[in-house]
Each structure stands twice: as C-alpha cells, then as structure tokens.
Amino acid sequence: MKRLCKKVCSLFLTAIMAGTVLVAMPVTANAQSYEDTLIDAVLENESVWSKYWYDSAPIFIKSYITFADLNFDGKNEFIVSYPCGSMMNVDCAVYYYTDGKFLKAGGGDKSKMISGYSLVTPKLSAYFDYNTGKNKILGRSNFRSSAADYIVGDYVLSFNGKDLDVNYYSAYSMSYPSGYTYYDGALGYGKLGDANEISETRYNEINDSIIDNCVDINFDYEKIMSSDWKYYSDNQKRSALKRAYENFKYDNYVSNLIGDANQDGIINVNDVTYLQMHIAGKKNTDGSAFIDETNKLLFDCVDMNKDGKLSVYDVTALQIYISNNNPKIN
C-alpha cells in the first residue's frame, strides 16, 4: 500500500529538543472585540458567503463553516466550505475583517483551500518548525476528474492578512490503468503544471523533509454544518459562531531560554541583532513583527529588564547577559 500522507512528527519531541526546554500551551483567539465584530459581519453578509452553500444539486459532502487563525496573529479568519457533486471536489473560501470591511481573501486559483473526500481528510494540520521558529499550516488537496482518475497535492498554506498563498511541494496522480505517478510539486488545485516526475521514494523523502525538526501543534477547529445551520434561529446562529470561534485552538511552542529572541535555541549575538531590528520596527516578509509581543512566554524571554516593554535597555541587558553567561544549546 502506497504511502499517502506526510509522516507525523513525534509528539514526544515537544518536551525536550536538543536540550532546549519548550513550553506548550493551548492558544485561543482572545481579541473579544474583534471576535464580536467578525461574527456580526458574518451574520450581516450571510447572503454573500452562503451563495451556493445550499446547493440543491446532488451533494456528496455537506458544506460547513468554521474559524481558524491562518496567520497566527490572534485573530481568526472565517472559512466557508462549499458542497460538492459526484466528483467530490470540495472548494473553500476564506473571509477576513479589516478597516470596517468583510472581505474575501485573494490569491487567485492557488488560494483555494481544497480538500478531497474519499482519500484524504479535509482537516488542515499545523506544525511548529524548529528550523524557523515559526508555525506553518499544511494541507492536502484531492481533485478528481473521474472515479478512478485524480490528483492529490500536498501544500503549505500561508495568509498575509489579505491574500492566501498555496505552495505545493509534492503531488501524485492516479490514472487507470497506468497507476500512480509522483511529482515534486504542482501548479495548483488539480493542476500539475511543469512539476517534475519523481520516484515514490523521492516523493516520501520530500514529504518527510517538510516536517523534519517539527512538532504537530494540534491545530483544531469546530465545524458548523449547513444541514444544522439552515434550521437555526438568529440567536442560535450567533451562539454557534461564537462557540466555533472560541473553540479554535492550537498548542503554542516557544523556547523559554532567556534572551532567545529569534527562537533558534541558541543565545548569541544573532538574538541581539534580531531584538534590535524588532525594536526598530523591521517586519517579516509577511508583514508580521519579528517578535510577537502578544505571546507572553516569548515576550518574557526577551524583556530582559522586566519593565513590561521592549527597548534599547533590553538590548543592552541581553548583551551583558550573553557576555556573562554565554549560554548555548549544543
């Protein structure tokens, strides 16, 4: 039996990783005002996102709605999964709220968060990557052109607060009677593009490498099925949305090493530079801050003088700390 899925990283790595003590804690979106505002927008724009949601055509997979924080900024996005027909190709859309507007995430054809039905789970998964010190979301799409012919793609999903980006790192196709063919990527949902044909062994190596030195952060969200939603009263709809929003969760992994600003498990001059750049207002390529100051565990690691804010005084204190202690994780 062929290997379909990415090998799951051992959860036992969460306790100790190369000598670095890590702390895992459940994370839920806690911006209450944003939560209520987004839920209001979802209800007010139901006619927009629910178009085709109650499709009367033969439905093999029921549609649903849910919330998930796709860029880990503490604010959930609204996700709509649409029903599908006999080919079981499921399409999803993502909405977000900003500057008083309820907007659909862009990104073109590649922005579709697609998950097939018969071969793979429609759940997204997420990992903390020790190589980068950041979380990443992984997904799998399944596009069927017939009952026996389909393309399965594995991708990294990212959201910059406006647009989705789906980068496929591996894929395989099944065609009767020729069988399976493996690829080192894909152009998009059901589109192989100019991906190179590779061996099954190489396909598995690529999938393993994506979660190498990573830990599953138990990315979990609650679905509201369309079959239930259509019978809800207005109050029941609001209650269901609040429950789904607040039940989204994942485990937050950070190094609790004092001064580990860049979260690489080593305390050195790179952390000083990283902290300086953060204080100067430098941003990551996705527009996020170098240091998530809303993450208390991380903030406490770099608030060297414990005054409740990050400043040049913390940079100086970190330099002195490194000079006096020279801590290092081997």
Question: Residue 311 maps to which CATH number?
Answer: 1.10.1330.10
The C-alpha angle 94, 165, 214, rounded to 5 degrees, equals: 105
Q: Are strands 224-225 and 214-216 parallel, antiparallel or unpaired?
A: unpaired
Whether the pLDDT of residue 56 is over 70: the answer is no
Could you say which of 232, 251, 270 is where a domain stops? 251
Domain assignment present for 282: yes
If asked whether residues 234 and 153 sit together in one domain, one would say yes
In the three-class reduction of DSSP (H, G, I as helix; E, B as strand; rest coil), residue 289 is classed as strand
Whether the pLDDT of residue 51 is over 90: the answer is no
Work out the average pLDDT over 20-39: 61
Between 128 and 90, the more confident residue is 128
If asked whether residues 273 and 163 sit together in one domain, one would say no
pLDDT in tens, 296-312: 778 888 999 889 999 99
pLDDT confidence of residue 142: 81
Domain assignment present for 6: no
Q: Going by C-beta distance under 8 Å and a sequence separation of 6 or more, which residues neighbour residue 101?
A: none
Work out the average pLDDT over 144-168: 87
Work out the average pLDDT over 184-211: 92
pLDDT confidence of residue 13: 24
pLDDT in tens, 59-79: 445 678 999 999 988 899 999
If asked whether residues 104 and 158 sit together in one domain, one would say yes
Whether the pLDDT of residue 101 is over 80: the answer is yes
Question: What region does 135 belong to: left with phi over 0, alpha with psi -120 to 50, or beta?
Answer: beta
If asked whether residues 158 and 298 sit together in one domain, one would say no
Report the C-alpha gap between 67 and 241 in whole angstroms. 8
77 closest CA partner among 41, 120, 107: 41
Whether the pLDDT of residue 28 is over 80: the answer is no
Between 86 and 200, the more confident residue is 200
Crossing angle of helices 234-247 and 32-44, rounded to 10°: 140
Domain assignment present for 202: yes
Domain assignment present for 175: yes
Residue 196 CB neighbour total at 10 angstroms: 10
Length of the chain: 330
Strands (E), the chain: 16-17, 20-27, 64-68, 77-81, 92-98, 101-104, 125-129, 134-144, 150-159, 164-175, 179-183, 197-198, 214-216, 224-225, 250-255
If asked whether residues 230 and 270 sit together in one domain, one would say no
Domain assignment present for 3: no
Query: How does DSSP assign 184-253, residue by residue?
Result: S-BSBTTB-TTPPEE-HHHHHHHHHHHTTTEEE---B---EEHHHHTT--HHHHHHHHHHHHHH-BEEEE
Report the C-alpha gap between 209 and 251 in whole angstroms. 22
Domain assignment present for 5: no
If asked whether residues 246 and 311 sit together in one domain, one would say no
Q: Are strands 224-225 and 64-68 parallel, antiparallel or unpaired?
A: antiparallel
pLDDT confidence of residue 119: 33
Mean pLDDT, the chain, rounded, equals: 80
Check: pTM over 0.95? Answer yes or no: no
If asked whether residues 265 and 240 sit together in one domain, one would say no
pLDDT confidence of residue 2: 40
If asked whether residues 244 and 286 sit together in one domain, one would say no
If asked whether residues 171 and 318 sit together in one domain, one would say no
The structural domain count of the chain equals: 2
If asked whether residues 48 and 32 sit together in one domain, one would say yes
Could you say which of 200, 231, 251 is where a domain stops? 251
If asked whether residues 263 and 233 sit together in one domain, one would say no
Domain assignment present for 96: yes
Please tell me the number of Cα atoms within 13 Å of 302 on its side-chain side. 31
87 closest CA partner among 114, 52, 124: 114
Q: Going by C-beta distance under 8 Å and a sequence separation of 6 or more, which residues neighbour residue 215?
A: 9, 10, 11, 13, 14, 17, 127, 128, 130, 253
Whether the pLDDT of residue 193 is over 50: the answer is yes
Could you say which of 217, 251, 285 is where a domain stops? 251
pLDDT confidence of residue 113: 54
If asked whether residues 180 and 304 sit together in one domain, one would say no
Q: Which domain holds residue 312?
A: 257-325
